[in-house]
Amino acid sequence: MVERLSSEPTVEFLSGSLESRIRVEAEKYKGIPIALSGGIDSGTLASFIKPEFAISVDLPGGDKYHEGQYARVISDFLEIKLITIQPDPNEFEVGVREAAKAIGRPIPHFNIYPLWAMYRELSKMGINKVILADGPDETMCGYARNMIMAHLYGVKNFDAFRNYGPLIDRVLPEPYVTYAAMTAQPVDKVRELMEGKPLIKAMNEVDMVLMRRDMDDMSNGIARSFGITNVRPYQDNTNFDIWQYNLPDEAKIHNTEFGKYALRLIAQRRIPHDLAWRKSKVGGPVWPVNLQMHWDKADGEFGKAHWLKYQEAILR
């Protein structure tokens, strides 16, 4: 009996296709300096680009926030020169004020000041172009909220709970309601983007349309103020960006805990294996940096209300 072969490509095959596409994009930017965060997006990209140097920003707050140690491990592994910036707390207010004015609107991300410090250093060095590894978080579920949502709303697929749909629905609101709360985006906008789509694609849609805009406006605005252009090999080519978005769910989230699964399969061969499969990266909220303003902590670690009001006051 001949075994029937599936017409669906395996995740390993798709990962190979992803690697080939990254290589093509990276060839366009060989040698350009790269911002190295210590994660798989920038580490994997650096392995293809072989930049003149990598640049990273050290942050306070211990292992939960501090990625500098991982950036150093990756740069040593790839034999790339690493420039590490130590932000000066005394410059925080000046940096945020300048950055907010350069951006032109309040931005919910907490890493405005670290980016300002990075671009200022690049400007002093005479650098006018830098590689950013932005993109896969939005197209391939790189955020913790993506895994949390997949876990919560995937419970109906468990054999033991298949007959408990009505009970689960009493506890869990519609996915768009939960995701709007997680992203701090208007419920009506999130609903419009998510309705009628499978969960993974629905989250990617919100992340690409609503969340990415803030990230791009933030880094582009600050970069321009220093005469620097950002290059994003993962997302600047629209066809490649959409191709990543269209990857099947299994290439994105694996065993609930690993996002960007197809990219991790590449990363494990190009950066230290342990870093390719690291789970604990927090990412966006640079809470200890922003606490230097000593504002009311009532917002909580992930609260953004005070941070946005602070920027609004600057722009007024």
Structure-derived torsion over alpha carbons of residues 186, 191, 197, 201, reported in degrees to the nearest 10:
10
pTM over 0.85: yes
75 in Cβ contact with 81 (< 8 Å): yes
Give me the domains of the chain, ranges plus CATH numbers.
Answer: 11-142+211-315 (3.40.50.620)
Counting as low any pLDDT under 70, the low residues of the chain are 1-7, 60-66, 280-302
Which residue is listed with tokens 């294996």? Answer: 273
Residue 304 pLDDT: 76
Residue 216 pLDDT: 96
Residue 5 pLDDT: 41
Q: Which two tokens stand for residue 4?
A: 């029937």
Q: Which distant-in-sequence residues (6+ apart) come within 8 Å of 313 by Cβ? A: none
pLDDT in tens, 273-313: 999 998 766 555 555 556 654 455 556 666 777 788 889 99
**Nearest CA among 67, 2, 73, 82 for reference residue 34:** 82
Q: Which residues pair with 82 in a beta bridge?
A: 54
Residue 69 pLDDT: 83
Residue 186 pLDDT: 93
pLDDT in tens, 47-62: 999 999 999 988 765 5
Distances (CA, A) of 147 to 35, 92, 152, 255, 306: 25, 33, 9, 9, 27
Radius of gyration of the chain (CA): 20
Tell me the C-alpha distance between 194 and 8, whole Å.
25
